[in-house]
Chains A and B, each alone.
Chain A
Amino acid sequence: MTEPMVRIRGLTKRYSGREVLRGIDLDVPAGSVMCLIGPSGSGKSTLLSCINHLERIDGGRLWVGGELVGYREHNGRLHELPERQIARMRQKVGMVFQHFNLFPHMTALQNVAEAPIRVKRMSAAEARRRGMLLLDRVGLAAKHARFPAQLSGGEQQRVAIARALAMEPQLMLFDEATSALDPELVGEVLAVMKDLARSGMTMVVVTHELAFAREVGDMLTFMDAGVVVERGPPREVLSAPREPRTQEFLSRVL
């Protein structure tokens, strides 16, 4: 059996004593799209942040591409990794945020080129050339000189996706990437995500867009109160949920 891109075993996470993740087990095979759904406060965004170690885990193990995230295991004990190695791991994992988090003092192209220049030590000319290709891929080459404040929400999110792709990640994390958008702008961002999934990118997508999950997702995981309640192919889970909590959630959302 090949190693999954993301492997999570018994993951727990506490915020000031309160357990927000209570023993998560999850595998995301390379090249697949995993959609995470669940009510707000169910821990799905926290789980996503644990995958690239923006949140530290309190228990369990989490591997990305076969590598333990954030720690080194020695004689059965976890040792924290230095910042340098955590940063190197994060290069492999792209992340897209609900509120875009573009750098407001940089143009769209500068946003995309910054990390390759500063982190990968790519030449500025090469980073800009690749940045333009990525902006073209998300349909924004013409607006490369705009600042984030001069772009619509949908355009900002597409720049944010291009920015994450510029580091050539093996895995992309989407944290409610369309939740902050006006309804008419959701489609353009989902189209870019669909395109990315078709190109074979491994993706973990926290979303409220059930239609997207049904169409693009290879697997669907329903979380509630810090545990995985149900998982399976999206069509099955969405059309015939087995667990009462899933049924209740879907009846409220659909």
Chain B
Amino acid sequence: MSASRDAAGMDATSEPGEASSTAEQVVPLRRPWTWAASAFTVLVACGVFYSVATNPGFQWPVVAKYMLDEEILAGLARTLELTVAAMAMGLIIGTLLAVMRLSGNPLLSTLSWLYIWFFRSVPVLVQLIFWYNFGALYPRIMLQIPFGPVLYSASTNAVITPLTAALAGLGLAQAAYTAEVIRAGIVSVPQGQTRAAKALGMRWATIFFRIIFPQAMRVIIPPVGNEVISMVKNTSLVSVIALAELLYTAQLIYSRTYETIPLLIVASLWYLVIVSVLSVGQHFLERHYRHRT
């Protein structure tokens, strides 16, 4: 006993006979404010829940009636379509912009920079209204070989429907954001990968699609997942140009029935459902890419 104490040289203060195997009893610090804050929070939460459940203004029966209403479901489908189409546009144009930005060509790189600067600076809501009124700026849209024959010509108002205006507004702005994410992903792949691929005799298209892009995906996927979730909600902006997505459909119904609050709740619940499903999907996608290699 004394020998070991001398060897340790540090527990000289410990009383002889005190067994070192039993855990010491530590009295935790009392934290009254933590308890007070918890009690207060629970109280507030109960109050909110009680009010939501009992306030007849919420009109829960009306909410239930419209949750699976045909018009609402059609609006929901339109919201999902817009999300997918605008994200697809954003990814394709964004990849193009990212490659332009990283190319050695100063003209292409500057053009890409200008695009990103412009479409990230002007609010999407403004862009949407702008596209919707494009006909006031250019009454006709033409595809023409310079000083040559006209290949295609149409009235702008015939081409720019609410749907095309919505896609242009959401997709072109999304491309600017996605371009930056993709650029960061491409830059994150070490230079040695390109050197190794070149040394094997690969050409740029093979190097980009087989070597660089799959590795960049690991960096690109998580932020793009976030962008998809943002896009679901951004589609509601399209209601200002009278495209019947989820929010505008709800607005159409309550303008007839004056059941404003319950229909806004219906729309909110659907947004909650979509975003929750996507969040779970993103979680698994991220885990998949983290565990790889």
Which positions in A face B, CB cutoff 8 Å? Answer: 52, 54, 83-84, 87-88, 90-91, 93-95, 97, 99, 101-105, 114-115, 118-119, 147-150, 160, 163-164, 167
Contacts and interface: CB of A to CB of B under 8 A. Distances in A.
A105 B188 CA distance: 14
A153 to B, nearest CB: 14
A95 B203 contact: no
Contacts of B292: 105, 147
A84 B201 CA distance: 9
B201 A119 contact: yes
A90 B204 contact: no
Contact of B196 (A88, A101, A105, A118): A101
B261 to A, nearest CB: 51
B214 interface: yes
Contact of B201 (A91, A101, A102, A103): A91
A150 B293 CA distance: 7
Interface in B86-131: none
A99 B193 contact: no
B224 interface: no
Contact of B293 (A83, A87, A104): A104
B276 to A, nearest CB: 30
B199 A105 contact: no
Contacts of A104: 215, 293
Contact of B210 (A101, A114, A147, A150): A114
The 9 residue pairs across chains A and B that have the minimum distance between CB atoms: A91-B201, A101-B196, A115-B200, A95-B199, A101-B192, A147-B293, A90-B201, A119-B201, A149-B293
A160 B193 CA distance: 12
B214 A105 contact: yes
A203 to B, nearest CB: 15
Contact of B193 (A84, A101, A115): A101
Contacts of A119: 200-202, 206
Given A87-B201, A104-B215, A119-B202, 5 more contacts: A87-B198, A93-B199, A103-B215, A105-B293, A167-B200
17 contacts: A54-B198, A83-B204, A90-B198, A91-B201, A93-B199, A97-B195, A101-B190, A101-B195, A101-B196, A103-B196, A104-B293, A105-B215, A105-B292, A118-B202, A118-B210, A119-B202, A147-B293
A52 B198 CA distance: 9
A88 B201 contact: yes
Nearest to A160: B196
B198 A103 contact: no
| Most B CB within 10 A of own CB, among A105, A149, A163 | A105
B193 A83 contact: no
B211 interface: yes
Nearest to A148: B293
Contacts of A103: 193, 196-197, 211, 215
A87 B202 CA distance: 6
A235 B211 CA distance: 42
B206 A118 contact: yes
Contacts of B203: 83-84, 87
B54 to A, nearest CB: 56
Contacts of B200: 90-91, 114-115, 119, 163-164, 167
A99 B196 CA distance: 10
B199 A54 contact: yes
A115 B215 CA distance: 17
- Which has the most chain B C-beta neighbours within 10 Å: A54, A93, A101, A102? A101
B214 A90 contact: no
A52 B192 CA distance: 15
Nearest to B199: A95
B248 to A, nearest CB: 43
Contacts of A90: 198-201
Contacts of A94: 199
Contacts of A115: 200-202
Contacts of B196: 95, 97, 101-103, 160
Contacts of A163: 200
Nearest to A118: B206
A219 to B, nearest CB: 23
Nearest to B209: A118
Nearest to A173: B199
Contacts of A160: 196
A88 B201 CA distance: 6
Contacts of B192: 97, 99, 101
B262 to A, nearest CB: 50
Contacts of A52: 199
A246 to B, nearest CB: 30
Given A105-B214, A118-B210, A167 B193 contact: no
Contacts of A87: 198, 201-203
Interface in B168-224: 190, 192-193, 195-204, 206, 210-211, 214-215
